[in-house]
Amino acid sequence: MLTRMQKWGNSFAVRLPKGVVQESGLKEGEALEVEVVNRHIRLRRAAKRGYSLDALVAGINRSNLHDEIHFGPPEGREAF
């Protein structure tokens, strides 16, 4: 199938034919990874990022840990 690249704001866009989208199982709004390999453009589904609290906490270290922040005395019925 042939398609054309068109200007879209400051970027360029390529429309994917309906048949290609249906055959690939892509859905509107789905994230795609774009990369260039040997001057060829490759599109693929972006890996779904799963986060867990344990993994996020394990990533805390001295370089990304901020100091405690004081917001002043309680103003209402906050529980500290």
The CATH number of whichever domain residue 15 belongs to comes to 2.10.260.10
Q: Is 54 within the bounds of a domain?
A: yes
* pLDDT at residue 80 tops 70: no
% residues pLDDT > 90 (the chain): 65
Give SS3 for 55: helix
Q: What is the pLDDT of residues 29-39, one digit of tens each?
A: 999 999 999 99
Give the pLDDT confidence score for residue 2 in this predicted structure: 86
Report, as an integer, the average pLDDT of 10-16.
Answer: 94
Q: What is the pTM of this model?
A: 0.51
How many structural domains is the chain composed of? 1
Provide the token pair at 27.
Answer: 């859905």
Element (H, E) at 29: none
Long-range contacts of 53-59, Cβ-Cβ distance < 8 Å, separation of 24 or more: none
Please indicate, yes or no, if residue 9 is contained in any of the structural domains: yes
CA–CA separation, 47 and 45 (whole Å): 6
